Amino acid sequence: MGLNRRNWLKSAALIGGYGLLNGVNSIKPLTPNEHIKFNPRLLSDPIRLSSNENPYGPSQRVRNRIQKVFDDGCRYPYEYAHGLEKILAKKHGVPNESIVITGGSTEGLKIAGITFTASGGEIIAAKPTFLAMMQYAQMWGANINWVPVDDNYGYDLQEIEKRISSKTKMVFICNPNNPTSTLLPANSLLDFCNSVSRKTIVFSDEAYYDYIDTPNYPSMVELVKQDKNIIVSKTFSKVYGMAGMRIGYLVAKPELADKIRTNIVAMTNVYAIEGAKEALLDHEFYDFSLQKNKEAKQMIYETLNHLELNYIKSHTNFIFFKSNQNINKLGKQMLAKGVKIGRAFPPFIDHCRISTGTIEEVQLFSQVLLSVY
C-alpha cells in the first residue's frame, strides 16, 4: 500500500495541482549547490506536515561545524554552553547570567513552569495554545486557569489580567500562538506585560518570533532588559532547522534565571551547542528559510482559497484553517493518501493545523487536500 501511495503522490505531483498552484511555476527549483547548503529533507512516506519543523537544515555550515567538533563528544557540555551563553547575551543585550541554555525550548518551558508553580501554584494560559508547560506543571501539582481565545483566535489579554489573583504564579503567552498562528498587537502586548509583570511572572514563548512579518515587532527581551518579571523562550528548532538536535534557551533577569538554572534536567549536548553557534552566523540559511516559508504559505493559501476554506493569515511556519469537518476524520483521510497533518486542538475540532514543508511537499499536500474535498 505504501508503494502504491507513493506512486500516486508522484503522479499527482506531475498533474500540476488540477490547474492550481500556478505560482509554483515562478518558484525556481533548488540548484545542486543549494541542495548542499540548505539540506532540504527528502520526501517521506507519509509526508509529515504535523510538527511545524523547518523542512531545510541543518545547513551545510552547521553540519561542517559539528563534524569538526565530533572528537569533543567525550566532553561534558558545560564549558561549551558558557561560550554560547556569552554569544546569546551579546545578541540580546543582556548579562551572561540572563541566559539559560536548554534541551530545546520545551525543556525551558517545562522547568520554568515547575520552578514557580509546583505544589499548587496557578498558571493562566490561553486555550488552545502550546501545552508543554501546563501539562508538565500539572504533573507537579500546579493548577491551570484556562482562558479561551477571542473571536479572532488571539489571546484575550483583558480576561487574562482580570483572572490574576494571589494564587497566580505565572501567566503564559505564546506569541505568535501555536496552533492559531495569531500575533498580538505590539502595543497591547507591551502594555499587558508591563502591567502584569508587576503582579506575577509573565512567560513569553517566542518560538516563532523569527517568522513575524510586522516591521520592528518587539521581543519581550526588551522588557527583560528593564528588569521586569518576564521570561522569554527562544529555540533553534524552527528557522535554524535544528529541531532534532534539541537546543533552545531562556532569557530572564539574573534572579529568575538562577532559580530556573538549578532545576535544568536534560540540558543539551556539545554538537548542538557548537551547531547553534554556527547557525547564528549563517545568515544566508536564515534568510533562505524565511523566504521558502513565505513561498510555501502562499501555495497553501491558494489551495485553501480555491476550496473556500477559511484560514488565518499566519505569522509562523504553519497555517490554521477551518476544515469544516472533524479533524480526526480529515486526518485519517489525508494519512491514507500519504500526508500527516496536525492533531486536534480542542475546542477547534473542525480546524486543521498544517506545517509548511518543501515546495514539493506542499504541492503534494495540496493535491491530496483537493482530492479529499
**Is a pLDDT exceeding 80 seen at residue 4?**
no
Determine the Cα–Cα distance for residues 291 and 35; give it in Å rounded to an integer: 15
Higher-scoring residue by pLDDT: 249, 11: 249
pTM of the full predicted structure?
A: 0.93
Q: Where are the beta strands (DSSP E) in 37-186?
A: 47-48, 99-102, 122-127, 143-148, 168-174
Q: Cβ distance 175 to 188 under 8 Å?
A: no
The residue type found at 212 is: I
Q: Which residues pair with 201 in a beta bridge?
A: 170
At residue 229, φ and ψ (nearest 5 deg) are -80, 65
Residues ≥6 apart with Cβ < 8 Å to 24: 17, 299, 359, 363
107: Cα separation from own chain's centroid: 14
pLDDT average, residue stretch 93-103: 98
Q: Tens of pLDDT along 287-311? A: 999 999 999 999 999 999 999 999 9
User: Is pLDDT of 118 > 60?
Assistant: yes
pLDDT on residue 286: 98
- Give the pLDDT score at 265: 86
pLDDT above 50 for 2:
no
pLDDT category, 249, cuts 50, 70, 90? very high
**In this structure, CATH architecture of domain 61-279:** 3-Layer(aba) Sandwich (3.40)
Going by pLDDT thresholds of 50, 70 and 90, the confidence category of residue 20 is low
Rounded to the nearest 10 degrees, the angle between the axes of helix 78-92 and helix 270-279 is: 20
Residues 6+ apart with CB under 8 A from 237: 53, 54, 104, 105, 207, 243, 246, 247, 248
Distance, in Å, from the CA atom of 363 to the CA atom of 366, rounded to the nearest integer, reads 5
Q: What 3-state class would DSSP assign to 268? A: coil
pLDDT at 1 over 50: no
Crossing angle, helix 104-117 and helix 132-139, to 10 degrees?
Answer: 40
Per-domain residue ranges for the chain? Answer: 2-57+283-372, 61-279
Q: Which CATH number fits domain 2-57+283-372: 3.40.640.10, 3.90.1150.10, 3.40.630.30, 3.30.200.20?
A: 3.90.1150.10
Q: Residue 336: pLDDT band by 50, 70, 90 thresholds?
A: very high
